[in-house]
């Protein structure tokens, strides 16, 4: 698809600085862009490339002042990174809107209800009493179990599995290989040392505008629901255990794990490979650093923690600084001990 600078500026509410008829057909990074590409510049680290790039159009912050002439046509916006994300989203929407119809072979039960402009890829299975909203895209190899509901404009990428009774809201994106509604990890220890499986009879509820990365797993509740609230963003390879609640607009990076029945607040940020134990609460707007181990509730909002066990971020950094200086401190203590011993010997000789 080909777009002019003027058309793009309308899409992202920007102002053209240069030739409004400049055309682009694809996107690229500013340091690698060629003629016909659109790029963006927002990080000062890449400032030098703004002046050397061959991109035809570059999206920049409206506040940025040029230090020398540029060859590209600029589109000025309040936030270049956000505007570029908006543009990519619109581009992706246009591409997926072209998909429609039911490919064969696929299996759709007679009791399933499909909305308008739905796309069902090859080798998809759709179970009994499933309800699929308008403009939903289900890519090849997906499985949708009995009594599942999927809201309007949602996308299930290849190989996604949504088990029975789960609810997926509107404008939800689930990437390839993710499993929604597998059994929670519930086993009751027996007197003889064996374990008896506890049936998991709840479900998973994913609210509107959630995005879930590839190969993530969200377990169904033992009873009730595991809930991912609206606007939450989950990266690849994340484990969400049974009866967990993830608050609205919370973001969780790759390889993090949340144990059962933990409640995570709104606007929480959880770094990669963080681990959170079960049956605790995380307050709103808490920031958990990568590889942190959270073993108890964090009840104060707007706090940051790091380390394992996780502790206050600032205090942890001070401790790390002290730890780095331990060899030097040990040397100084040894020197002081020698000095004290020397002074004591001199005192005895007086």
Residue 248: predicted pLDDT: 98
Which superfamily does CATH assign the domain made up of 160-309 to?
A: Hexapeptide repeat proteins (2.160.10.10)
Query: H or E element: which one contains 336?
Result: helix 326-349
SS3 11: helix
Q: How confident is the model at residue 309 (pLDDT cuts 50, 70, 90)?
A: confident
pLDDT in tens, 216-268: 999 999 999 999 999 999 999 999 999 999 999 999 999 999 999 999 999 99
Domain made up of 3-97: CATH architecture: 3-Layer(aba) Sandwich (3.40)
Domain boundaries, the chain: 3-97, 160-309, 316-349
pLDDT in tens, 132-177: 999 999 999 999 999 999 999 999 999 999 999 999 999 999 999 9
In sequence order, the 6+-apart residues with CB closer than 8 A to the CB of 297 are 280, 281, 282
Residue 151: predicted pLDDT: 98
Q: Higher-confidence residue: 160 or 99? A: 160
Residue 94: predicted pLDDT: 79
pLDDT in tens, 10-46: 999 999 999 999 999 999 999 999 999 999 999 999 9
Establish whether 249 is a catalytic residue: no
Q: What is the mean pLDDT of the chain?
A: 94
Give strand pairing partners of 293: 275
Catalytic residue chosen out of the listed positions 175, 242, 249, 279: 242
Residue 337: predicted pLDDT: 87
Q: How much is the average pLDDT of 314-342?
A: 82
Could you tell me if 274 and 313 are in contact, meaning their C-beta atoms sit under 8 angstroms apart? no
Residue 350: predicted pLDDT: 62
CA 262 to chain centre: 18
pLDDT in tens, 38-82: 999 999 999 999 999 999 999 999 999 999 999 999 999 999 999
Could you tell me if 299 and 282 are in contact, meaning their C-beta atoms sit under 8 angstroms apart? no
In sequence order, the 6+-apart residues with CB closer than 8 A to the CB of 328 are none
Extract the tokens encoding 89: 């989203």
Q: How much is the average pLDDT of 191-200?
A: 96
pLDDT in tens, 205-223: 999 999 999 999 999 999 9
> What percentage of the chain has pLDDT greater than the value 70?
99
């Amino acid at each position: 698809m080909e777009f002019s600078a003027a058309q793009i500026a309308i899409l992202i509410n920007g102002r053209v600085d240069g030739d409004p008829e400049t055309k682009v057909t694809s996107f690229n990074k500013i340091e690698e862009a060629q003629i016909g590409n659109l790029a963006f510049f927002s990080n000062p680290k890449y400032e030098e490339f703004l002046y050397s790039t061959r991109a035809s159009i570059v999206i920049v912050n409206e506040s940025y002042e040029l230090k020398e002439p540029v060859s590209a046509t600029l589109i000025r916006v309040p936030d270049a990174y956000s505007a570029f994300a908006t543009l990519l989203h619109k581009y992706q929407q246009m591409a997926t809107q072209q998909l429609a119809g039911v490919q064969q072979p696929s299996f759709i039960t007679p009791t399933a209800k499909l909305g308008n402009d739905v796309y069902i890829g090859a080798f998809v299975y759709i179970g009994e009493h499933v309800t699929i909203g308008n403009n939903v895209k289900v890519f090849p190899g997906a499985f949708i179990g009995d009594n599942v509901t999927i809201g309007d404009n949602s996308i299930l990428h290849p190989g996604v599995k949504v088990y029975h009774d789960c609810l997926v809201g509107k404008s939800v994106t689930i990437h390839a290989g993710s499993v929604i509604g597998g059994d929670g990890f519930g086993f009751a220890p027996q007197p003889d040392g064996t374990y008896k499986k506890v049936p998991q009879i709840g479900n998973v509820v994913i609210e509107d505008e959630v995005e879930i990365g590839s190969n993530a797993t969200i377990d169904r509740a033992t009873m009730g629901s595991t809930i991912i609230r609206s606007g939450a963003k989950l990266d690849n390879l994340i484990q969400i255990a049974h009866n967990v609640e993830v608050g609205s607009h919370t973001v969780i990076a790759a390889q993090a794990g949340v144990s059962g029945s933990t409640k995570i607040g709104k606007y929480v940020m959880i770094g990669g490979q963080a681990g959170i134990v079960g049956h605790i609460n995380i307050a709103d707007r808490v920031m958990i650093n990568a590889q942190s181990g959270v073993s108890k509730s964090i009840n104060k909002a707007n706090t940051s923690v790091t380390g394992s066990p996780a502790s206050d971020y600032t205090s942890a950094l001070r401790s790390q600084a002290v730890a780095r200086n331990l060899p030097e401190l040990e040397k100084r203590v040894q020197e002081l001990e020698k000095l004290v011993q020397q002074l004591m010997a001199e005192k005895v000789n007086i």
